[in-house]
């Protein structure tokens, strides 16, 4: 390494008086030394202070600018050299060289800037201030269609530079998107799909940019879907497919792109992967099966893409997905159930599926997962059943198929996501189904579990759904026996608390259920209603100007119903209800005003 110190000394002299031949020789020496031991040579270069001199050798007139840029590219492979390159003022002259017409100069300059930007905030800022990104994007545009190897190498370096420049930096990524980099990269991918290195660069760039919401619209206006699917079909290697998957997943979150991917034939590719990998126990194959089937489910989240694949329930894709449910592979069972839940997003699809036996398939699947089952599969199958139970016409069919019994097997689950879906499914099933509501409402085990879950403060969803199901059992059954079961299990206080919910729909459901309790079983429930402070709560709801009209209306109906109980009647008299109610006679909502007059009469008569 003695030679290197001599070279650096010599370089200092020749760099100033620019004697061309000896200068070239010194630079060649440095490049050789860097090739042999990059880190050590870079340390020596930094210590020598020669970096500052490089700026003067990067002028457009300099004959050795490409070699100097090459040296900078080599030293900037070391993290400790990136800030010194910025401090030595090298960024501005390097960016100026991007205007050169010489391919070698462009190549080395692109490498130098790309390496300086790698993981370096200072490097990126300096390139940003010098306006480097726009020049590189303009080059990509103008060189895009030339397919000779040297040009493809230059395009690859430029893509890499933009990636290092913007990686994990939202504002710089947004800047590139505004400069129109996306259509340019998509075009590059289409023209150069035979070039592995360039293709890979484009994919990594897409993966970075696709994370930004603002990129999705730009991607949707290109033919990215077609290009990616074309590329995907050609790939045999797992790693390459995985790279494409990493771009597809964020892009497929956009509904327009979902449809484009479906139209480009991605689904057929995914089904083929599933078929090939389903029985393999190789780790790569298991990963690919999961990624492929997850992506399939994601495509079904778009309304148009989902309907296109459903094809009135005759679609081959829909049929294939159905066949996943009885499979022995948990991942496929999960994807199959999630896919059915996604297909079940409109009444027509739900009715068709129930008529064609999907419920039995889902119940069989649940049965296989009762004891120590797979929680995600349980959750997905219950989600599908809940969605299928929404159309009125399906409820009776599903009840007679035994869905409630199948679902109740999971009452002992300690998993909040499963509890949540179980509650939602039962609530959907008993909607306007008096007999089913009565049967469930008299099931002491169920009611006791609901009362327990009404206190699940850590799980607001489970708590809310338990309250709603308690109320639904009363509202749809209108049964004294159901009310007695709920009173005995200690459910009344929860319905009273539910009347103060921040969600109007839940408040209303609670008030209607409480009015039924007061009308049908006031004697049984009065103690619980009193200790839950129902009368005070109703006074608050009526006095509060923010209460919705239907809340005021149902609160007054409930007040009238409570007059039949001596202790509650006394509470109503003790609180000045007449004042609050008489004010509501002039309420803008006709029903509220009318109910206020009736309630006022009732209070006056009873006082």
Which of the four pLDDT bands, split at 50, 70 and 90, describes residue 380?
very high
Judging by beta carbons within 10 Å of its beta carbon (0-12, 13-18, 19+), is residue 543 exposed, middle or buried? middle
Do the beta carbons of residue 197 and residue 156 sit within 8 Å?
yes
Q: Establish if 492 belongs to a structural domain.
A: yes
Q: Which of 515, 532, 549 is the last residue of a domain?
A: 532
Percentage of residues in the chain having pLDDT higher than 90: 71
Instruction: Give per-residue pLDDT as tens, 195-207.
Output: 989 999 999 999 8
pLDDT number for residue 451:
95
Q: Is the pLDDT of residue 453 over 90?
A: yes
Residues 523 and 551 in one domain: no
pLDDT, average across residues 124-152: 94
- Take residue 63 and report the two structure tokens written for it: 């004959």
Per DSSP, the chain holds a count of helices (H) and strands (E) of 40, 0
Mean pLDDT for 150-166 is 94
Q: CA–CA separation, 537 vs 540, rounded Å? A: 5
Please check whether residues 442 and 528 belong to one and the same domain. Answer: yes
pLDDT at 309 over 70: yes
**Is residue 2 scored above 50 in pLDDT?**
no
Residue 18 has pLDDT above 60, yes or no: no
| Structural domain includes residue 320 | no
Distance, in Å, from the CA atom of 223 to the CA atom of 221, rounded to the nearest integer, reads 7
Q: Is the pLDDT of residue 1 over 50?
A: no
- Write out the DSSP string of 36-77: H-HHHHHHHHHHHTTHHHHGGGGSTT-TTHHHHHHHHHHHTT
Question: Does residue 17 surpass a pLDDT of 70?
Answer: no
Whether 10 shows a pLDDT value over 80: the answer reads no
**Taking 80 as the threshold, does the pLDDT of residue 319 lie above it?**
yes
Separation CA 279–CA 194 (nearest Å): 32
Same domain, 547 and 579: yes
Same domain, 453 and 520: yes
End position of a domain, from candidates 532, 562, 577? 532
Q: Which of 604, 594, 523 is nearest to 557 (CA)?
A: 594
582 and 524, same structural domain?
A: no
Give tens-digit pLDDT for 242-264.
999 999 999 999 999 999 999 99
pLDDT value at residue 236: 78
Q: What is the pLDDT of residue 12?
A: 67
Within a domain: 517: yes
d(CA 537, CA 63): 88
The reply to whether 602 and 573 lie within a common domain is yes
Residue-level pLDDT at 86: 96
Query: Which structural domain, as residue segments, surrounds residue 557?
Result: 536-606
Alpha-carbon separation of residue 335 from 297, 300, 384 (angstroms): 6, 11, 11
In a domain, 586, yes or no: yes
Give the angle 244-249-255 at the CA atoms, nearest 5°. 125
Best mean pLDDT range from 11-20, 287-296, 504-513, 564-573: 504-513
pLDDT tens readout for residues 36-93: 999 999 999 898 888 988 998 999 998 899 999 999 999 999 999 999 999 999 999 9
- Residues 461, 524, single domain; the answer is yes
Do residue 591 and residue 553 come from a single domain? yes
Residue 78 forms part of a structural domain: no
Q: Which regions of 95-176 does DSSP assign to beta strands (E)?
A: none
Least confidently predicted of 101-115, 220-234, 235-249, 519-533: 235-249
Q: Does the residue 440 lie in any domain?
A: yes
Instruction: Give the whole-angstrom CA distance, residue 369 versus residue 318.
Output: 23
More confident residue, 35 or 14: 35
Total count of domains within the chain: 2
Are 103 and 150 in contact by the 8 Å Cβ rule? The answer is yes
Q: Is residue 4 part of a domain?
A: no
The verdict on 501 and 489 lying in the same domain is yes
Q: So what's the pLDDT on residue 578?
A: 87
Q: Are 476 and 496 in contact (CB under 8 A)?
A: no
Same domain (yes/no): 509, 466: yes
Q: What residue spans of 547-589 are helical by DSSP H?
A: 549-562, 566-574, 577-583
Q: Residue 277: how many CA atoms within 13 Å on its side-chain side?
A: 22
Task: Taking residues 378-386, report their average pLDDT.
Answer: 96
- Does 16 score more than 60 pLDDT? no
Looking at the structure, tell me whether residues 528 and 541 fall in a common domain. no
Q: Which residues contact 270 (CB under 8 A, 6 or more apart)?
A: 292, 293, 295, 296
Is residue 371 in a domain?
Answer: no
Question: 604 pLDDT band (50/70/90 cuts)?
Answer: confident
Q: Which of 126, 193, 211 is nearest to 155 (CA)?
A: 193
What is the average pLDDT value for the chain, to the nearest integer? 91
pLDDT exceeds cutoff 70 at 21: no
Residues 550, 472 share a domain: no
- What is the mean pLDDT of the segment spanning 358-380? 92
Q: pLDDT at position 48, please?
A: 87
Are the beta carbons of 136 and 122 closer than 8 angstroms? Answer: no
pLDDT of 605 strictly over 90: no
Q: Residue 590: which residues within 8 A CB-CB, separation 6 or more?
A: none
Judge contact between 562 and 534, C-beta under 8 A. Answer: yes
155: left (phi over 0), alpha (psi -120 to 50) or beta: alpha
Q: Looking at 507, 532, 557, which one is the last position of a domain?
A: 532
The dihedrals phi and psi of 501, each to the nearest 5 degrees, come to -60, 155
Give the list of residues 6+ apart from residue 17 with CB closer than 8 angstroms, or none.
none
């Amino acid at each position: 390494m003695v030679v290197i110190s001599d070279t650096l000394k010599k370089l200092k002299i020749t760099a100033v008086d620019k004697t061309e031949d000896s200068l070239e020789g010194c630079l060649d020496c440095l490049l050789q030394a860097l090739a042999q031991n990059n880190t050590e040579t870079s340390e020596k270069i930094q210590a020598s202070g020669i970096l500052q001199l490089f700026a003067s050798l990067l002028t457009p007139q300099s004959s050795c600018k490409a070699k100097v840029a090459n040296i900078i590219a080599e030293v900037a492979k070391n993290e400790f050299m990136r800030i010194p390159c910025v401090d030595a003022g090298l960024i501005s002259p390097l960016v100026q060289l991007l205007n050169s017409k010489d391919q070698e100069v462009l190549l080395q300059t692109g490498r130098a800037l790309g390496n300086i930007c790698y993981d370096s905030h200072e490097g990126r800022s300096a390139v940003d201030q010098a306006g480097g990104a726009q020049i590189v994007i303009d080059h990509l545009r103008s060189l895009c269609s030339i397919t000779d190897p040297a040009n493809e190498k230059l395009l690859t370096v430029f893509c890499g530079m933009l990636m290092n420049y913007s990686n994990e930096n939202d504002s710089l990524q947004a800047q590139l998107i505004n400069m129109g980099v996306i259509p340019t990269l998509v075009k590059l991918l289409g023209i150069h799909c035979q070039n592995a290195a360039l293709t890979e660069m484009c994919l990594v760039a897409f993966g970075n940019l696709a994370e930004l919401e603002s990129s999705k619209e730009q991607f949707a206006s290109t033919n990215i879907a077609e290009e990616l699917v074309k590329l995907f079909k050609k790939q045999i290697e797992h790693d390459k497919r995985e790279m494409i998957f990493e771009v597809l997943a964020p892009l497929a979150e956009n509904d327009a792109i979902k449809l484009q991917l479906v139209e480009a034939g991605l689904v057929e590719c995914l089904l083929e992967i599933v078929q090939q990998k389903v029985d393999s126990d190789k780790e790569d194959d298991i990963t690919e099966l999961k990624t492929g089937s997850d992506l399939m489910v994601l495509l079904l989240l778009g309304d148009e893409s989902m309907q296109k694949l459903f094809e009135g329930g005759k679609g081959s894709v829909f049929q294939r997905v159905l066949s996943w449910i009885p499979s022995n592979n948990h991942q496929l069972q999960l994807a199959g159930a999630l896919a059915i839940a996604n297909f079940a997003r409109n009444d027509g699809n739900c009715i068709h599926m129930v008529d064609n036996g999907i419920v039995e398939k889902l119940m069989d699947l649940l049965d296989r997962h009762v004891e120590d089952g797979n929680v995600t599969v349980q959750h997905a199958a219950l989600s599908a059943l809940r969605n299928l139970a929404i159309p009125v016409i399906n409820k009776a069919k599903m009840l007679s198929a035994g869905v409630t019994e199948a679902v109740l097997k999971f009452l002992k689950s300690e998993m909040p996501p499963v509890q949540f879906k179980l509650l939602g499914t039962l609530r959907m099933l008993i909607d306007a189904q008096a007999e089913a509501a009565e049967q469930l409402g008299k099931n002491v085990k169920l009611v006791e579990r609901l009362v327990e879950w009404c206190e699940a403060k850590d799980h607001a969803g489970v708590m809310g759904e338990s309250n709603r199901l308690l109320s639904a059992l009363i509202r749809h059954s209108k049964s004294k026996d159901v009310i007695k079961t709920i009173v005995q299990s200690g459910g009344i206080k929860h319905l009273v608390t539910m009347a103060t919910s921040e969600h109007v729909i839940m408040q209303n459901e609670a008030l209607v259920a409480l009015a039924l309790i007061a009308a049908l079983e006031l004697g049984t429930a009065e103690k619980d209603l009193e200790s839950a402070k129902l009368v005070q709560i109703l006074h608050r709801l009526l006095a509060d100007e923010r209460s919705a009209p239907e809340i005021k209306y149902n609160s007054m109906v409930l007040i009238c119903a409570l007059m039949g109980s001596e202790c509650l009647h006394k509470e109503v008299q003790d609180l000045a209800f007449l004042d609050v109610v008489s004010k509501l006679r002039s309420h803008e909502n006709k029903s509220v005003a009318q109910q206020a007059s009736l309630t006022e009469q009732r209070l006056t008569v009873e006082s």
